[in-house]
Amino acid sequence: MTEKNLLEVIDLKVEFNTDEGRVLPVDGVSFSLNDGETTAIVGESGCGKSLTALSIMGLIDKPGRIVGGKILFEGKDLLCLSKRERHAMRGKELAMIFQEPMSSLNPVFTVGYQIAESILLHQNVDQKEAKKRSIELLKRTGIPRAEKVFDSYPHSLSGGMCQRAMIAIALSCNPKLLIADEPTTALDVSIQSQILDILHSLAKEDKKSILLITHDFGVVAEMADQVVIMYAGQVVEKSDVFSLFDEPKHPYTQGLLRSTPKLSEDVEVLEAIEGIVPNLHNLPKGCYFYPRCKKALPVCANERPDMQTVADGHEVKCWLYYMESSGERNE
């Protein structure tokens, strides 16, 4: 398996030192991403999705700190590299697109300049060649009149256009892994589906590996091969997309899937997950999902479950599956 993995995150922990003490917004996250596949990280606001992505990029900033785990990219541990080596990897091997397209572009430079800059930085080409490649990239992301957009400033473009430009910048050095942090959340449905189409064709035609962060199961169903569900800083379920949608195992995943209204079905009353996401400063003693869980067992209140394999390639962190699984309680 390991040779096929482009990226493997093992037991990643990110710590924040706040006024009220230490918190672990990312607490033992493990998952892997196969070469040429799309892995989606799904979870609600604040569950640590962005921090996981930023850790992979090496962009965790001051109050935050990676305190444990490994991030293996093509077999080498990124956390052991020097600052300079990591910097060199960014853009070239790893690239990221962000949620807010408008604010991730620098307003004082033209879009074209920003794309060409990243090409010039990492590749040995001259200005003219860089411009040519930039325009090609813009066309690749479906921008009509790419030459004109090349000379525009970000404020004169719509959110969708800016997001395309961001994708163009991310693709400029042909990275092996593209991380997309909620690339469509800020956009309208019609634009969202256009951007998803671009990502889809990148994944299918160019065989790009994509780590897609989202909270929309529709986007997951459309894009992902593997799915990682996160709750309060932990991975609660991992599976390939088909078995996840066919048979979600974790009560949280089941709740999420049932509580989103869908165009294809009619339900009288949505099955909501009651309660709210726990505060990181005040996490429950047992399973983090216990206070909201409808299927909770007595054991859930006091002890945290471990990851259990319930089917081939389908793992879940829930006490409900301890009986079924072959593994003993490992305490």
Ligand X SMILES: Nc1ncnc2c1ncn2[C@@H]1O[C@H](COP(=O)(O)OP(=O)(O)OP(=O)(O)O)[C@@H](O)[C@H]1O
- The answer to whether 82 contacts other proteins (rule: CB under 8 A) is no
Helix (H, G, I), strand (E, B) or coil at 244: helix
Lay out the site mask for other proteins across 20-39 (x = CB under 8 A, - = otherwise). x-------------------
The interface partner of residue 48, options being ligand X, other proteins, Mg ion, none and the CB cut-off 5 to 8 Å by kind, is ligand X
- The answer to whether 160 contacts ligand X (rule: CB under 6 A) is no
Token pair for residue 293? 């869980």
Q: How far apart are CA 83 and CA 44, in angstroms?
A: 31
Helix (H, G, I), strand (E, B) or coil at 215: coil
Q: Which residues pair with 209 in a beta bridge?
A: 177
Token pair for residue 75? 């077999």
Give the DSSP letter string of 84-153. HHHHHHBTTTEEEE-S-HHHHS-TTS-HHHHHHHHHHHHS---HHHHHHHHHHHHHHTT-TTHHHHHT--
Answer for which of 274, 302, 313, 327 binds other proteins (CB under 8 A) is: 274
The interface partner of residue 175, options being ligand X, Mg ion, other proteins, none and the CB cut-off 5 to 8 Å by kind, is none
Q: Which stretch binds ligand X (CB under 6 A): 38-46, 124-132, 144-152, 238-246?
A: 38-46
Token pair for residue 170? 């991310």
Q: Which stretch binds ligand X (CB under 6 A): 49-57, 234-242, 253-261, 302-310?
A: 49-57
Answer for which of 32, 48, 130, 169 binds ligand X (CB under 6 A) is: 48
- The answer to whether 44 contacts other proteins (rule: CB under 8 A) is yes
The interface partner of residue 160, options being ligand X, Mg ion, other proteins, none and the CB cut-off 5 to 8 Å by kind, is other proteins
Q: Who contacts 280 (Cβ-Cβ below 8 Å, separation ≥6)?
A: 23, 24, 25, 46, 232, 233
Q: How far apart are CA 8 and CA 78, in angstroms?
A: 10
Q: Who contacts 85 (Cβ-Cβ below 8 Å, separation ≥6)?
A: none
Q: Who contacts 271 (Cβ-Cβ below 8 Å, separation ≥6)?
A: 255, 258, 259
Cβ distance to other proteins smaller for residue 106 or 279: 279
- The answer to whether 55 contacts Mg ion (rule: CB under 5 A) is no
- The answer to whether 97 contacts ligand X (rule: CB under 6 A) is no
Interaction with ligand X in 272-311: which residues (CB under 6 A)? 280
Q: Give the interface with other proteins as residue ranges (CB under 8 A).
A: 20, 44-45, 144, 158, 160-161, 188-194, 196, 215-224, 241-242, 245, 255-257, 259-264, 266-267, 269-279, 281-282, 284, 291-292
Q: Give the interface with Mg ion as residue ranges (CB under 5 A).
A: 50
Q: Give the interface with ligand X as residue ranges (CB under 6 A).
A: 16, 18, 25, 43, 45-51, 63-64, 280
